Chain A
């Protein structure tokens, strides 16, 4: 048995947990809720074991100190760690707020991220560390960055839920914002899945898939009919979410999730994530760059996008103190902030070139 057995187990567990949480949301039986929690905890334990094993395997292969063998050096490992942080944070919230309903919103993110690893066929091999990554800063920089990303992911989910709960009319800008946001999120993921299914034979790496074949199976298809139909489905789906978004609101409200609680969790996760991101992501990153390359800031795309993300959340924290910026407007900033996080994390590595490109291997 090696780490991938346990990673597989945790993927299955999170997918099961997602289904159980949604069932729980539909039938509201406490037993189902307990089962859902139990499955999540099982998945979390096996993922923790897997992380530990991978760490050990990495240290053995790379022949380096245990501190430098952090299994966080490529996209595969970082996604897995991100999911681990997310589930940990979720379990803490479930325990603290004694509310299971969030599970139905968090576990899909975890399951999707792990499924993304499987369908995109990204490399799960252990690669020894390239010279630039051999530093004691790796552990602090990467772990803290991903911890903050998970906090931001939670603020994204609760921020979006806040908007769902607080909007009334379909003509309201905030309502339109969240329906479009949710639709784009789902459509993008589906389109990428479709790309993979269509082109998996003709590409050698997942990087090539995203660089050369992005949306070629749908929106940018060479066949005009497919492209037109894709755009039509996307617009129709967005319209559908917009038309029936009220159902989601009823569902959340029926589960005693108050908007005050959503606002509090959004704020708290950002208030924890922001200082960790500043210190671990920006400051430690700058110090590391200074020691490796003699430049603490080079306006490299990854650095720049981190700064943009930092601006978003700095703005969020300040805007709560401003008059007339409470509630929906701030929630929108929290949701947009996470879009910047996703781009910093994935988009920069996959679409732009720069010093951090080894993250895309």
Chain B
């Protein structure tokens, strides 16, 4: 008694989770709440959302603030991590598993069931049906049909009985499993995501040029040891020539383990560095506060007669042009230089968008020339007297913003993606096709009845069968 009662409860729960109704409800719940989540900015400053609510509902600041408070309590300001949203996803998974398991035995039976010869009246009732007669021996027609079937990719089996001979074949019975493979792939992807949440992390690391770190930062307090040291050799923004459009953000990184350099790579936005399961992505950049004065200015100085020298100096520093008695002194620096309409120089930003140095050139104590030299504009590098000062870099004043990620689940996610692609292909672009060709002797000619079925895309299969008949007819003529 007790056992029987238990079973019915499990059956009831099973039925609920196997129902399409639940799937519809959970689909709608996920979709509707997600919509709310795209309107309310997630994990954002409260003020942003207060403004949004004021605009959307015409509320006052106070009312919007208390409304946001309610939304915050309900988890809508970080809803994709709220317990109830995760519960929806969990129910979705259980629903997917139970629905699939519920239908799988029937489908497996269909997949395993071997195609068998059928009585002619059955063949004549198939959804694709062709009948024709040919003046020839049945045995010859059978040979033609067998080779034609082979050419359209079927391996026919034979049987003969009172009604005559029959060729029958099937293809793609496994494609019926495509739907379940797709469902499995969704579960794999979600499993990979869960593994990522529990065994991985996302952190950031702002690393100034020339500095080393052995930690990444989840937030201000939480440090995560990397297990090795990371050095930022250099950071650079490349621009499209003649414009302020950035072309690439590039960091030169070095991995140091136990005091030894083990890896060197320059990374860009779409090309990260991976070492020991930890990946570093180029995500932002900025200037070190009050760092300009200590920045190292790297110049390549060339005299008119071709002597060159690489020089490292600082703001306020001096250098000599090789082979001459001309000295240059860097008297001013601008991280972002521009000129106004009257030609007066001014700085338009605090970050290094257009770095420039002001150099005074003197010989024997007399100032001969002075002017701005811009890193991004090589035409300013050439001096009037034929000498040349190439402004290569100001180093040590910028930091590179790295996204640091460790995710052991990502491989499972990728595997799930590949399986999903296969499952979808099987489901939408392949089908389970079966064909029967019955050939019987009738008053000196052979009567051919072709019946066929496909669980998907019947029209395409019918075209294939027309091709098959065409091949049989052509073989017939050729045989004469």
Give me the interface of A with B, judged by CB distance under 8 Å: 62, 127-128, 130-132, 134-135, 137, 271-272, 274-275, 278-279, 283, 286-288, 290-297, 299, 301, 304-305, 307-308, 311-312, 314-315, 318, 322, 348, 352-353
CA distance A352 to B37 in the complex (A): 11
In the complex the two chains form, is A299's CB within 8 Å of B80's CB? yes
Q: Which residues does chain B contribute within 8 Å of A295, judged by CB atoms?
A: 202, 403, 405
Among the 9-residue stretches B9-17, B38-46, B62-70, B358-366, the one with 4 or more Cβ atoms under 8 Å from chain A is: B38-46
Closest to B44 in A: A353
* Complex contact B270–A132 (CB within 8 A): yes
What is the 8 Å Cβ interface bit string for chain B, positions 261-301, against chain A (1 contact, 0 not)? Answer: 00000001111100000010101000000000000000000
A287 touches B414 (CB 8 A): yes
CB under 8 Å from chain A, chain B span 52-67: none
Q: How far is the CA of A111 from the CA of B257 in the complex (A)?
A: 62
Residue of A nearest to B413 (CB): A296
Check B23 against A275 for contact (C-beta < 8 Å): no
* Residues of A contacting B429 in the complex (Cβ-Cβ under 8 angstroms): 275
Q: Which of B124-132, B419-427, B445-453 contacts A (4 or more CB under 8 A)?
A: B419-427
Separation of A297 and B30 alpha carbons in the complex (Å): 16
Contact of B428 among A130, A271, A287, A315 (CB under 8 A): A271
Determine the residue in chain A with the shortest Cβ distance to B26: A311
Q: How far is the CB of B274 from chain A (nearest CB, A)?
A: 10
Q: Is B245 an interface residue (CB 8 A)?
A: yes
Judge whether A301 and B38 touch: CB under 8 Å.
Answer: yes
Chain B residues with Cβ below 8 Å from A292 are 269-270, 281
Contact B270 A308 (CB under 8 A): no
Whole-angstrom distance between the Cβ of B28 and the nearest chain A Cβ? 8
Are B31 and A308 in touch, CB under 8 angstroms? yes
Do residues B20 and A134 form an inter-chain contact, with CB atoms below 8 A?
A: no
For residue B35, CB closer than 8 A to chain A, the reply is yes
B27 at the binding interface (Cβ < 8 Å): yes
For residue B34, give the distance in angstroms from its CB to the closest CB of chain A: 5
User: In the complex, what's the smallest C-beta–C-beta distance from A144 to chain B, in angstroms?
Assistant: 12
Asked if B193 and A131 sit within 8 Å, CB to CB, the answer is no
| Smallest CB separation, A133 vs chain B (Å) | 9
Give bound CA distance, A130 to B23, whole Å: 41
B239 closest partner in A (C-beta): A128
Is the pair A305, B38 in contact by a Cβ cutoff of 8 Å?
Answer: yes
Pick from B270, B272, B281, B414: contact of A134, CB under 8 Å: B270
CB contact between B27 and one of A137, A315, A352 (< 8 Å): that residue:
A315
Among residues of B, the one whose C-beta sits closest to the C-beta of A291 is B270
Contacts of B283 in A (CB 8 A): 293-294
**Contact status B281-A304, CB under 8 Å:** no
- Indicate whether A353 sits within 8 Å of B41 (C-beta atoms), given known contacts A275-B425, A294-B405: yes
> Which residues of chain B are near A272, meaning CB under 8 Å?
428
Residues of A within 8 A of B249 (CB): 131
Interface pair B424/A279, CB less than 8 Å apart: yes
Find out whether the CB atom of A318 lies under 8 angstroms from the CB atom of B23. yes
* B281–A131 CB distance below 8 A: no
Q: B residues near A, CB below 8 A?
A: 20, 23-24, 27, 30-31, 34-35, 37-39, 41-42, 80, 193, 202, 240, 243, 245-249, 268-272, 279, 281, 283, 403-405, 410, 413-414, 417, 420-421, 424-425, 427-429
Query: In the complex the two chains form, is B23's CB within 8 Å of A278's CB?
Result: no
Nearest CB on A from B255, distance (A): 17
Contact of B248 with A318 in the complex, beta carbons under 8 Å: no
Give the chain A neighbours of B248 by CB distance below 8 A: 131, 134
Beyond the given A135-B270, A311-B31, please list 16 additional residue pairs across the A-B interface where CB-CB is below 8 A: A130-B246, A131-B270, A134-B270, A137-B270, A275-B425, A275-B428, A275-B429, A292-B270, A293-B281, A294-B279, A296-B413, A297-B193, A299-B42, A304-B38, A308-B34, A353-B41
- The answer on a CB contact under 8 Å between A352 and B281 is no
B24, A315: Cβ atoms closer than 8 Å: yes
In the complex, how many angstroms separate the beta carbon of B107 from the nearest chain A beta carbon?
12
Complex Cα distance, B403 from A180, in Å, reads: 48
Q: How far is the CA of A169 from the CA of B138 in the complex (A)?
A: 58
Instruction: Give the docked Cα–Cα distance between A293 and B193 (Å).
Output: 16
Q: How far is the CB of A278 from chain B (nearest CB, A)?
A: 6
Q: List 21 A-B contacts (CB under 8 A).
A: A128-B243, A128-B247, A131-B247, A137-B270, A271-B428, A274-B424, A275-B424, A275-B428, A288-B270, A291-B270, A292-B270, A294-B272, A294-B404, A294-B405, A295-B202, A295-B405, A297-B193, A299-B37, A311-B27, A315-B24, A352-B38
Are A294's CB and B20's CB within 8 A? no
B280 CB to closest chain A CB (Å) equals: 8
Closest beta carbon of chain A to B247's beta carbon, Å: 7
- Whether B410 contacts A290 by the Cβ 8 Å rule is yes
B50 to A: closest C-beta gap in Å: 16
Complex alpha-carbon distance, A65 and B161, angstroms: 66
Most buried by A among B24, B269, B405: B269
- Cβ–Cβ contact B403 & A293, under 8 A: yes
Residues of A within 8 A of B24 (CB): 315
- Residue of B20, B38, B246, B271 ringed by the most chain A CB atoms within 10 A: B38
Residue of chain A at shortest CB distance from B237: A131
> Contact: B269 with A134, CB < 8 Å?
yes
| Complex alpha-carbon distance, A149 and B270, angstroms | 26
User: CB-nearest residue of chain A relative to B249?
Assistant: A131
Check B245 against A128 for contact (C-beta < 8 Å): yes
Distance between B424 CB and nearest chain A CB, rounded to angstroms: 4
Q: In the assembly, what is the distance between CA of A206 and CA of B50, in Å?
A: 26
Measured CB to CB, the closest approach of chain B to A316, in angstroms, equals 11
A333 to B202, CA, bound (A): 38
**Cross-chain contact A278 with B424 (CB below 8 angstroms):** yes
Known: A294-B272, A299-B37. A322 touches B20 (CB 8 A): yes
Contact call B35/A308, Cβ cutoff below 8 A: yes
How many angstroms from the CA of A297 to the CA of B80 in the assembled complex? 11
By a CB distance below 8 angstroms, the chain B residues around A62 are 240
* B residues less than 8 Å from A308 (CB atoms): 31, 34-35
Expressed in whole angstroms, the Cα–Cα distance for A307 and B92 within the complex equals 14
How far does the Cβ of A313 sit from chain B's closest Cβ, in whole Å?
11
Contact assessment for A127 and B245 in the assembled complex, using a CB-CB cutoff below 8 Å: yes
Interface contact A283-B202, CB-CB below 8 Å: no
* Cβ–Cβ contact B23 & A311, under 8 A: no
Which residue of chain A lies nearest to B280 when distances are taken between CB atoms in the complex?
A294
**Interface hub of A62, A130, A131, A304 (most chain B Cβ within 10 A):** A131
8 smallest CB-CB distances across A and B, nearest first, come from: A294-B405, A275-B424, A301-B38, A135-B270, A294-B281, A299-B80, A131-B269, A294-B403
The complex places the Cα of A291 from the Cα of B281 at a distance, in Å, of 8
Q: Whole-angstrom distance from the CB of A287 to the nearest CB of chain B?
A: 7
How far apart sit A322 and B20, CA to CA, in the bound complex (Å)?
8
Contact A286 B410 (CB under 8 A): no
